[in-house]
Amino acid sequence: MKPTIFVTRRLPQPPLDRLAEVFDVSINPDNRVLLKQEVMDGVQGKDALLCLLTDAIDAEVMDAEPNLRVLSNYAVGYNNIDVQAATERKLPVTNTPGVLTDTSADLAFALILASARRIAEGDAFTRAGKFDGWGPLMMLGYDVYGKTLGILGMGRIGTAVAKRAQGFDMRVLYTNRSARPEAEQKYNAQKVDLETLLRESDYLSIHVPMSKETRHMIGAEQLAAMKPTAFLINTARGPIVDEAALVEALRSGSIAGAGLDVYEEEPKLAPGLAECENAVLIPHLGSATIETRTKMAQLAVENAIAVIEGRRPAHLVNPEVLDS
Ligand code: NAP
């Protein structure tokens, strides 16, 4: 008899075929996020769960099936899982880092360019038939090349954004818990405190994970410390930014604009955000390419298979459960 796995949403097919070689697979047939109760029903009698960042996996879900042996998350971020509760239950949690780094960095850079050069606004303007000829003062934006890029969280993705900034002759500043000598050497990046990062950045791009420490790390006070010509780019997680305070900063012009891929109460937007023309808003597309979503699925599948076959998975969030 094969072990059993519940997959909370359909993924690219080739990795699912691989999963079926090892597991008896049950998949949510609907193209929607499941309710918590539906996830709890889905895991019953299963050995493994393959879940997404849109599934909140707390102690109650874990206890719905005490024989669960692995939680394989289809994302690098794992703030949707109560990792402490999983560790207390000796339940390995895995994630999919690395394979989405460049794709996510490309998207962060796309938002820098789109917000500075008013790409989305210009597209809507042209489609609406409002373009009646070139104008010397029409839809002026801000330069990107030669400006200062501030990176909050110089991990895999932050470093990949710094790499891209080299092609735009940007000065790179960063704030991170630990120093990153390699990024300093390779990309001429300079480590500064958050206050300096806010004060000096023309583009501030967020790449820290969501945690108790990073929740509302950028609020009214931090936005007020930014230049009125600066842009805030968030492709990490919504709750890192106080979205109501951001709407206020965008409305009052205390910053020039924003490029957002993630939202505090996704998929809802804070009141007033959709009306801010100086914000480019996209629906959580950081890793959304065919190639990358397939690689993420392969990794999530192999992580689940490794645990079930008694091997160490490539990416384990709570190694203490296998080390103890
Ligand atoms: P990573 O390699 O772990 O990098 C995170 C960095 O943030 C690390 O360098 C870490 O520094 C730093 N950091 C953590 N907490 C901090 C704090 N309180 N203050 C300052 N620095 C802090 O992760 P990654 O692969 O780059 O991914 C980053 C995040 O991007 C993920 O957690 C995920 O939420 C998000 N993401 C979003 C999308 C999307 O679809 N929009 C796609 C991929 C990823 P230390 O190493 O010194 O702790």
CB of 215 sitting under 6 A from ligand 1: no
- Ligand 1 centroid–CA 214 distance in Å is 10
State the average pLDDT for the chain. 97
- Predicted confidence at residue 322, as pLDDT, reads 92
For ligand 1, what atom is nearest to the CA of residue 214?
18
- Predicted confidence at residue 308, as pLDDT, reads 98
Q: What is the DSSP annotation of 158-197? A: HHHHHHHHHTTT-EEEEE-SS--HHHHHHH--EE--HHHH
- State whether the Cα torsion 7-8-10-15 is positive or negative: negative
**Atom 39 of ligand 1 has which residue's CA nearest to it?**
286
- Predicted confidence at residue 324, as pLDDT, reads 75
Please choose, from the candidates 84, 79, 158, 144, the residue with its C-alpha nearest in 3D space to the C-alpha of residue 116. Answer: 144
CB of 183 sitting under 6 A from ligand 1: no
- Ligand 1 centroid–CA 135 distance in Å is 42
Q: pLDDT category, 83, cuts 50, 70, 90?
A: very high
pLDDT digits (tens, 9 = 90+) for 52-75: 999 999 999 999 999 999 999 999
- Ligand 1 centroid–CA 79 distance in Å is 11
Is the separation of the CB atoms in 62 and 86 below 8 Å?
A: yes
Quote the longest CA-to-CA distance of the chain. Answer: 72
Mean pLDDT of 153-167: 98
Task: Print burial letters for 285-298: b (CB count within 10 Å at least 16), e (below 16).
Answer: ebbebeebbbbbbb
Tokens in use for 240? 């890192």
Is the separation of the CB atoms in 16 and 27 below 8 Å?
A: yes
Which of 76, 192, 196 to mutate for ligand 1's pocket (most ligand atoms within 8 Å of CB)? 76
pLDDT digits (tens, 9 = 90+) for 242-264: 999 999 999 999 999 999 999 99
Three-state SS sequence of 59-125: HHHHHCCCCCCEEEECCCCCCCECHHHHHHCCCCEECCCCCCHHHHHHHHHHHHHHHHCCHHHHHHH
Catalytic residue among 69, 237, 293, 315: 237
Catalytic site includes residue 237: yes
